[in-house]
Amino acid sequence: MEESRGLLREEIRQTKPFRSKGQEAMLGLLRTANILRHRIAAVTEPHGVTVQQYNVLRILRGAGSEPLPTLEIGERMVEQSPGVTRLIDRLEGQGLVSRERCVQDRRQVLCQITPKGCALLEATDPDVDDLEGSALDVLEPVEQEALIGLLDRIRASYR
């Protein structure tokens, strides 16, 4: 473990020590998330969707036959986005999502993944599964569990 000391400073070419362990941890977390986001984008973008659009499609596939309101999709997203409507506009334009007004509340728009959207996800599933499986292979299972717990604690502190 000691061999990784200073790796982040080297990657970002920082010559001074970090102000605190908190700063180093925060920047390390952000840097790692950025690397993983780029790896996911390398899988999704050849299929014509961004990582955020891909996230919307996975949310809708997970909902099954139940359409979801736009606001709920936004709440479920891994990366919160103020432009959920624009994401859905683009997905609808590609025929990957359909939407309609809610009968009970005309202000609410319900969204559902189309068969074409499901097919896109099925095409990307093997590569995404490989990425998800290999991204943390450098950690032992017990370390992965510890990381999950630590990340849960950090997010819970902001609720």
Cα(37)–Cα(12) distance, integer angstroms: 18
Mean pLDDT in the chain?
89
- Poorest-pLDDT segment among 12-21, 65-74, 148-157: 12-21
Q: What global pTM score does this model have?
A: 0.84
Q: Give me the percent of the chain exceeding a pLDDT of 70.
A: 96
> What number of H helices and E strands is found in the chain?
7, 3
Q: Are strands 97-101 and 68-69 parallel, antiparallel or unpaired?
A: unpaired
- Please state the rounded mean pLDDT for residues 23-42: 91
**What's the pLDDT at 55?**
95
pLDDT digits (tens, 9 = 90+) for 75-107: 999 988 778 999 999 999 999 999 988 677 767
Domains in the chain: ranges and CATH: 2-156 (1.10.10.10)
Report residue 153 CA to chain centroid gap.
19
